[in-house]
Amino acid sequence: MIDAKDLTRTFGNVTAVDRVTFHVEAGEVFGFLGPNGAGKTTTVRMLCCLISKTSGEARIADYVVGNEEDSLKIRKMIGLVPDNVGLYDELSAYENLDFYGKLYECSESQRRENIQRFL
């Protein structure tokens, strides 16, 4: 389901992720642990196609990380809950959920139903 092979990301002369290789099966709960600065967030950001990789390969299901068309499909199928949640302070709780629902192309009636349930 998730396959990373020699995944690497550098920022200038900092190597944030250095040839990370792992495999996660569908349905498996996978703990990806390490001290602060180990490169966990950078790895997740590459897998979610939020930043590019420097080298190595990764696949999510049959999609290839780094392929532009596949990146859109990968972003659609992943739900990421980062440690600092990206909510907009100037929007209400309802408006925040409505905004994210729109990004996921939920219909208006589906958004209304989901938001009532989640709130």
Ligand X SMILES: Nc1ncnc2c1ncn2[C@@H]1O[C@H](COP(=O)(O)OP(=O)(O)O)[C@@H](O)[C@H]1O
The residues that touch ligand X, with contacts defined as CB under 6 A, are 11, 14, 16, 34, 36-42
Q: What residues contact 53, with CB distance under 8 A and at least 6 apart? A: 7, 8, 9, 46, 65, 66
∠ CA 13-65-82, nearest 5°, is 75
Cα–Cα distance, 14 to 53 (Å, whole number): 14
| Beta carbons of 47 and 53 less than 8 angstroms apart | no
Residue whose CB is less far from ligand X, 16 or 74: 16
31-90: which residues touch Mg ion (CB under 5 A)?
40-41
Size of the site for Mg ion (CB under 5 A): 2
Q: Which is nearer to Mg ion, 10 or 41 (CB)?
A: 41
With beta carbons less than 8 A apart as the criterion, state whether 55 and 6 touch. yes
Q: Which does 11 bind (CB under 5 to 8 A by kind): Mg ion, ligand X, none?
A: ligand X
Would you say 27 or 86 has its CB closer to ligand X? 86
Minimum CB separation of residue 68 from ligand X in Å reads 21
Residues that bind Mg ion (CB under 5 A): 40-41
